[in-house]
């Protein structure tokens, strides 16, 4: 049809498909497909289905343009959420009554009447929780957590030991580590929407719950103990000030405990008051520290007084800078790594902003910008303080005003740089009794400052701000961990209160932990563990960034591009090295804790799926290994029985699965095949590909794949599985199925197709195994419409679906599956000291021997004795036994019991022969049919029914028929009490042996036997070898 031109003024709605009146009026029809019902779910009310008039303009169709709602997991207040139509709804037949599957983000309420929901909807929007920007929420918080007492009390001493040059190197190396970690954190934080949980959230969603959970626990604990550390640092400073003024409550230790408990209680109240109050307190602390810095800088410029000169301060001097630029190591800690281990903890704290990610207005912007700016400014402040204090203060001074350089003292006898400025500290330098100077006086910054109390205020601000930041970080991280339910007994602490969902219970737990360590008041032993926990977190963050980058997952698309995966890996390794350089035993403890919780999570396998890089790496590894197998030719030494098991729904034939699992678990491929033959409607497709089948297998702890196909008939579906299952060289080579015990009462076509499947498998070079059990295999009750009709008595026309097959979809994108029960089968029990009887009657390549050997490697079969039966002549019985036993020994199978059966060649009993003849009577062609003109139908012809048995067929296969009858008698005599019978399955020649006769052979061979019977036939290629190459 030729379309009109755009300027022909033709109404385009004329080319729109005509809609029924019920659609135009917005009413639902009595049945069938109603487009308006679907369209209303995907629009915001402006669709054609929501209009009362019949005027239609433009191309208004079910197709929807891209929209934010289609990808979001949450709904904006005040408007109805849109939903993307499914593919079935777009291309399905409108007259199909079957309900198309909805997307996971849809719930049941959105497809029905929403009037009740509208009535219950609140009139006003919910209160907006407090959210912070990148300056107040991240940068200031990180800077306060990085600055600490080391800045005020130890940085000048480190400068005296390492010199200005090496101290700069220590600062820059530390900042390089934290900077690269900041870049890695920024990359991870911008790869998707970040929620609360901070470090734990970033690591767990990147590396998975195994490493994320362990880091979440130790990081939350480290922050809780860090609260005690910083609080004790504050309490010690207060106690020292009190002692200077003669104020003592009990003694020094108890005074620290009392002041520490009071301080942490006040901080707890401030934290529980809400993030807004906590943030205001942090700003106050930041202002105090800035004032203390200003006081220090002004103090370096002001000309020094005599008291300050006596303590070694001479303002900016080039000679002092040059002397202090080189190191002057003193004491046992006087090494580069000794100074590095003391300084590095002062560079940590870069995750303080990320730890409150749930309280940030835009974490993807705030975390990178705030963290990197905090690292830059704190590094700059460290470098400036080192340069200024190293340019103004000498290393040694006595502090005595009487040590001025007398005019009579010769310059040659004066020791030290202070001689150039009129001071003689030679006596204390020679005696090593100097109490002032960079190397001896920890309060050098306070001495240099213009107003010393401001430095004390700065120490208070640094310690309290760090304690407050840790007191907020620990509960936030722990709350997110509790909500994920990775570990037992901690979910109680995950409850949130108020508009900000404050973790009050986690706050109290953190308070109790901090109070316990404050009461101990000896944190010198625990401090290295905390530093190592922080370093362990940094290492894993960097490794997370590297791992996510190296997997080349399409989902790794961080908006922050200024990172390098190899730098991240290098930094991760450096962090581990530094852990051992700081304190090796603390590093071992940290790594041991991580490994312990890692092992627990791997053992429990929590039901979470976060799309981690570990999953992407597993896919890459599996894909590369599969492709690599194509480069290696198959070898008989590496043969593994890779089994395609025709189970139907796996839950319907558990015994078949349990037996196959015994010789494929942790060894080779197992794939469950299900053929659905009841049409191709969406509900049928769902039955074939439902996740509930895989969930059932996982619940039963069976390591197997599942593949469901929809086909016009059962044989066609099995052919699809035989030819299409597998990947590369990892594909099935053995077909396992149950015996069709109802073949005589079922339709002749079904019985014929069953045998044709065996022939198809042989044509495709498959080995074939058929399992028969006296009680049957199919346990499904009531039977389901997608039970394979090809074996074990599955009904042909049954459309009953059990309630257990229903799948409910929730609004949280998680599928809730009601699984079928887990019945116990004989193959799950320990077999004890019974026997596995192997009837190796024909050589099929060795598969008949290999399967019993694999069974005996399992614990439940290990005590079973394997007996091998072979046919032979009575006068050569001993020779043939030795020959077979020698062959089995060369195969190293460990079978010692071999028995030759000459009586298998005897004639069977007449009663059993008569039973066999009655068994095939329905399928025999009458050689002289009676011609009855009144009959409505002619007797079947073999050309029209090739499964029928002619007298010639019966005569031609008489020897084989009698042998199967006789073999059943032998089995009854020798293997009545065996745990399992494995017997070589006969092969019926195509075109020579009718399918019904072949099926009768299998039936008569395995009938009326108490033990399970596994009939095995390999593909006539060797699966055993006694050669080493």
- By the 8 A CB rule, do 355 and 429 touch? no
- By the 8 A CB rule, do 644 and 757 touch? no
Mean pLDDT of all residues in 48-72: 56
Packing angle of the helix pair 504-520, 209-244 (nearest 10 deg): 50
Q: Is the model's pLDDT at 27 over the cut of 70?
A: no
Which residues have C-beta within 8 Å of that of residue 30, sequence separation ≥ 6? none
Distances (CA, A) of 283 to 277, 279, 289, 330: 10, 6, 10, 39
What does the pLDDT read at residue 293?
92
Per the listing, tokens 């059966």 go with 901
In this prediction, residue 519 has a pLDDT band, given cuts at 50, 70 and 90, of confident
Burial of residue 59 (CB within 10 Å: 0-12, 13-18, 19+) is exposed
Distances (CA, A) of 633 to 627, 637, 772: 12, 12, 35
What does the pLDDT read at residue 681?
65
- By the 8 A CB rule, do 490 and 216 touch? no
In 3-state terms, what secondary structure has residue 1014? Answer: strand
In this prediction, residue 13 has a pLDDT band, given cuts at 50, 70 and 90, of very low
Buried b (16+ CB within 10 A) or exposed e, 662-671: bbbbeebbbb
What does the pLDDT read at residue 985?
94
Segments of 142-212 assigned E as strands: none
Per the listing, tokens 């200077």 go with 244
What does the pLDDT read at residue 815?
40
Q: Is the model's pLDDT at 73 over the cut of 80?
A: no
Helix (H) or strand (E) holding 983, with range, is strand 980-984
- By the 8 A CB rule, do 982 and 738 touch? no
Phi and psi torsions of 485, nearest 5°:
55, 45
Q: Is the model's pLDDT at 993 over the cut of 50?
A: yes
- By the 8 A CB rule, do 152 and 315 touch? no
Q: Is the model's pLDDT at 51 over the cut of 60?
A: no
To the nearest whole percent, how much of the chain has pLDDT over 70?
81
What does the pLDDT read at residue 265?
92
- By the 8 A CB rule, do 781 and 792 touch? no
Buried b (16+ CB within 10 A) or exposed e, 352-389: bbbbbbbbbeebbbbbbbbbbbbbeebbebbbebbbbb
Who wins on pLDDT, 777 or 498? 777
- By the 8 A CB rule, do 161 and 339 touch? yes
* Phi and psi based region of residue 755 (left: phi greater than 0; alpha: psi -120 to 50; beta: remaining): alpha
Q: What angle do CA 42, 44, 49 make, to 5 degrees?
A: 70
Helices (H), 245-274: 252-272
- By the 8 A CB rule, do 52 and 13 touch? no
Question: What's the chain's length in residues?
Answer: 1029
Prediction pTM value: 0.71
Who wins on pLDDT, 800 or 178? 178
Q: Is the model's pLDDT at 360 over the cut of 70?
A: yes
Helices (H), 318-362: 318-325, 336-343
Percent of the chain as helix, strand, coil, to the nearest 5: 55, 5, 40
Segments of 97-230 assigned E as strands: none
What does the pLDDT read at residue 106?
39
Lowest-pLDDT range of 442-446, 449-453, 794-798: 794-798
Spatial separation of the C-alpha atoms in residues 532 and 582, rounded to whole Å:
8
Strand order in the sheet with 835-839: 705-710, 670-676, 643-646, 734-738, 767-772, 1013-1017, 980-984, 835-839, 865-871, 897-901
Q: Is the model's pLDDT at 780 over the cut of 80?
A: no
Which residues have C-beta within 8 Å of that of residue 64, sequence separation ≥ 6? 42, 43, 70, 82, 84, 85
Radius of gyration of the chain measured on its C-alpha atoms: 41
Q: What is the pLDDT of residues 740-776, one digit of tens each?
A: 988 888 888 888 899 999 999 999 999 999 999 988 8
Select, from the ranges 32-41, 283-292, 547-556, the one with the highest average predicted confidence (pLDDT).
283-292
Q: Is the model's pLDDT at 806 over the cut of 50?
A: no
- Tokens read off for 248: 């003592």
- Tokens read off for 564: 């390098």
Say how many C-beta atoms besides its own lie within 10 A of residue 763's C-beta: 11
User: What residues does 706 pair with on adjacent strands?
Assistant: 672
What does the pLDDT read at residue 737?
94
Nearest Cα to 779, choosing from 689, 964, 649? 649
DSSP labels, 866-908: EEEEEE--GGGHHHHHHHHHHHHHHTT----EEEEEGGGGSPP
What does the pLDDT read at residue 598?
86
Q: Which long-range contacts (CB under 8 A, 24 or more apart) does 666-669 make?
A: 666/703, 667/640, 667/854, 668/640, 668/641, 668/642, 668/643, 669/640, 669/642, 669/643, 669/705, 669/726, 669/730, 669/731, 669/732
Lowest-pLDDT range of 289-298, 352-361, 583-592, 921-930: 921-930
Q: What is the mean pLDDT of the chain?
A: 80
Q: Is the model's pLDDT at 662 over the cut of 80?
A: yes
Tell me which DSSP letter residue 397 carries: B
Phi and psi torsions of 550, nearest 5°:
-75, -25
CA contacts within 13 A on the Cβ side of 903 = 9
**Using CA of residue 736, residue 741, residue 742, residue 743, what is the dihedral sign?**
positive
- By the 8 A CB rule, do 239 and 516 touch? no
Q: What is the pLDDT of residues 859-880, one digit of tens each?
A: 999 999 999 999 988 888 889 9
């Amino acid at each position: 049809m030729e379309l009109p031109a755009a300027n022909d003024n033709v109404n385009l709605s004329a080319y729109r498909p005509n809609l029924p009146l019920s659609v135009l009026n917005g009413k639902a029809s009595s049945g069938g497909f109603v487009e308006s019902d679907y369209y209303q779910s995907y629009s915001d009310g402006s669709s054609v289905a929501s209009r009362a008039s019949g005027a239609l303009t433009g191309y208004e169709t079910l197709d929807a343009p891209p929209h934010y709602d289609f990808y979001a997991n949450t709904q904006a207040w005040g408007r109805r959420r849109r939903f993307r139509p499914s593919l079935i709804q777009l291309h399905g037949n409108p007259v199909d009554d079957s309900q198309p599957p909805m997307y996971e983000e849809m719930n049941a309420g959105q497809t029905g009447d929403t009037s009740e929901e509208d009535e219950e909807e609140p009139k006003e929007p919910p209160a907006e929780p407090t959210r912070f920007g990148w300056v107040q929420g991240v940068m200031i918080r990180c800077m306060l957590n990085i600055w600490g007492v080391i800045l005020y009390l130890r940085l000048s001493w480190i400068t005296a030991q390492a010199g200005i040059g090496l101290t700069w190197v220590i600062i820059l190396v530390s900042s390089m580590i934290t900077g690269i970690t900041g870049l890695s954190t920024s990359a991870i934080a911008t790869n998707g929407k970040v929620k609360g949980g901070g470090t734990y959230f970033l690591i767990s969603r990147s590396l998975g719950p195994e490493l994320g959970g362990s880091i979440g626990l130790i990081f939350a604990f480290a922050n809780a103990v860090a609260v005690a550390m910083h609080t004790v640092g504050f309490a010690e400073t207060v106690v020292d000030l009190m002692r200077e003024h003669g104020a003592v409550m009990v003694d020094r230790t108890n005074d620290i405990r009392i002041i520490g408990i009071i301080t942490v209680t006040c901080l707890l109240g401030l934290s529980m008051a809400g993030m807004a109050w906590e943030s205001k307190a942090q700003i106050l602390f930041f202002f105090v520290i800035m004032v203390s810095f200003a006081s220090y800088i002004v103090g370096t410029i002001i000309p020094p007084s005599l008291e300050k000169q006596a303590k070694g301060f001479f303002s900016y001097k080039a000679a002092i800078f040059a002397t202090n630029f080189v190191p002057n190591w003193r004491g046992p800690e006087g090494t580069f790594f000794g100074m590095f281990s003391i300084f590095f903890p002062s560079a940590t704290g870069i995750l303080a902003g990320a730890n409150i990610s749930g309280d940030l207005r835009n974490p993807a912007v705030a975390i990178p910008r705030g963290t990197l700016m905090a690292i830059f400014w704190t590094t700059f402040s460290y470098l400036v303080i080192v340069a200024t204090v190293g340019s103004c203060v000498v290393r040694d001074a006595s502090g005595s005003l009487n040590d001025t350089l007398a005019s009579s003292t010769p310059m040659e006898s004066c020791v030290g740089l202070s001689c150039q400025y009129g001071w003689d500290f030679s006596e204390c330098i020679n005696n090593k009794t100097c109490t002032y100077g960079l190397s001896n006086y920890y309060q050098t910054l306070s001495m240099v400052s213009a107003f010393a109390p401001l430095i004390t205020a700065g120490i208070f601000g640094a310690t309290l701000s760090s304690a407050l930041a840790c007191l907020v970080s620990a509960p936030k991280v722990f709350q997110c961990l509790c909500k994920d339910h990775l570990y037992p007994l901690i979910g109680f602490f995950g409850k949130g209160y108020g508009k900000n969902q404050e973790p009050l219970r986690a706050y109290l737990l953190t308070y109790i932990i901090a109070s316990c360590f404050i009461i101990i008041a000896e944190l010198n032993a625990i401090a290295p563990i905390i530093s190592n926990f922080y370093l362990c977190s940094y290492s894993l963050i960097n490794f997370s960034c590297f791992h996510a980058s190296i997997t080349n997952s399409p989902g790794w698309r961080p908006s922050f591009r200024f990172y390098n995966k190899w730098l991240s890996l290098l930094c991760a390794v450096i962090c581990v090295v530094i852990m051992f350089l700081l304190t090796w035993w603390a590093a071992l403890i940290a790594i041991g804790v991580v490994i312990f919780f890692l092992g627990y999570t791997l053992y429990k396998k929590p039901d979470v799926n976060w799309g981690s890089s570990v999953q992407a790496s597993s896919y890459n590894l599996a894909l590369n290994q599969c492709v690599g197998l194509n480069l290696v030719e198959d070898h008989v030494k590496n043969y593994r029985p890779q089994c395609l098991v025709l189970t139907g729904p796996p839950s319907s034939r558990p015994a078949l699965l349990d037996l196959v699992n015994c010789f494929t678990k942790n060894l080779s491929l197992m794939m469950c095949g299900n053929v659905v033959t009841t049409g191709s409607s969406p509900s049928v497709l769902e039955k074939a590909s439902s996740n509930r089948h895989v969930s059932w297998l996982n619940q039963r702890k069976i390591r197997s794949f599942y593949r469901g196909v929809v086909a016009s008939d059962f044989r066609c579906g099995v052919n699809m599985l035989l030819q299409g299952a597998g990947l590369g060289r990892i594909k099935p080579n053995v077909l396992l199925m149950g015996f069709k015990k109802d073949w005589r009462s079922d339709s002749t076509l079904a019985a014929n197709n069953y045998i044709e499947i065996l022939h198809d498998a042989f044509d495709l070079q498959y080995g074939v195994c058929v399992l028969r059990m006296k009680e049957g295999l199919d346990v499904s009750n009531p039977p389901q419409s997608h039970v394979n009709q090809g074996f074990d008595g599955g009904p042909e026309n049954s459309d009953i679906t059990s309630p257990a097959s229903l799948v409910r979809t929730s609004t949280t994108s998680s599928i809730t599956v009601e699984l079928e029960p887990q019945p116990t089968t004989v193959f799950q029990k320990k077999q004890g000291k019974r026997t596995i009887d192997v009837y190796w009657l024909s050589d099929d390549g060795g598969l008949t021997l290999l399967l019993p050997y694999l069974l005996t490697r399992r614990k439940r079969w290990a005590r079973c004795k394997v007996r091998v039966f072979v046919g032979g002549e009575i006068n050569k019985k001993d020779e043939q036994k030795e020959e077979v036993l020698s062959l089995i020994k060369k195969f190293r199978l460990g079978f010692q019991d071999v028995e030759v059966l000459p009586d298998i060649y005897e004639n069977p009993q007449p009663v059993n022969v008569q039973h066999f003849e009655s068994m095939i009577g329905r399928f025999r062609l009458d050689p002289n049919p009676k011609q009855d003109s009144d009959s409505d139908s002619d007797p079947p012809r073999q050309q029209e029914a090739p499964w029928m048995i002619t007298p010639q067929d019966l005569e031609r296969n008489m020897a084989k028929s009698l042998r199967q009858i006789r073999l059943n008698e032998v089995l009854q005599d020798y293997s009545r009490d065996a745990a399992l019978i494995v017997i070589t399955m006969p092969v019926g020649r195509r075109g020579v042996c009718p399918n019904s006769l072949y099926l009768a052979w299998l039936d008569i061979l395995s009938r009326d036997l108490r033990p399970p019977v596994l009939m095995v036939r390999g593909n006539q290629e060797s699966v055993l070898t006694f050669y080493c190459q």
